[in-house]
Amino acid sequence: MLIGFITAVHILVCFFIIVVVLLQSGKSGDISAAFGGQGSQTAFGPRGAASALSKATTWSAVAFMVTSITLSINASRHTTAPSVLQGIKSQPVKTQPAQKPAAPAPTQK
């Protein structure tokens, strides 16, 4: 039950990271910044949005890492076989002896 909860939190964090990253503006700003416009018509103002979204990105990245590590540790503990190829015996390779190369034909002048 706990792993189901962690998986649900992990999926929610994934969607949240996608939304937060898509809401952030790039370093160069938007198209109006290319023509000298102000271009910062956000609810938080030009600096507030960057810091709030940066903090949200940082904390969601931390939550993503923690849930990822937790799920991977749980998956590694509950495997039945340590390897996919465990129990498969390798067959000996059948090889033929190398052929002796043919002698070059004598050249006529």
Kindly provide the b/e burial profile for residues 42-80, where b requires at least 16 CB atoms within 10 angstroms of the residue's own CB. Answer: eeeeeeebeebbeebbeebeebbeebeebeeeeeeeeee
pTM to 2 decimals? 0.55
* 49-58 average pLDDT score: 81
Q: What is the pLDDT of residues 15-43, one digit of tens each?
A: 999 999 898 876 655 555 555 555 555 55
pLDDT category at 4 given cuts 50, 70, 90 is very high
Close Cβ partners of 21 (under 8 Å, ≥ 6 residues apart): 57
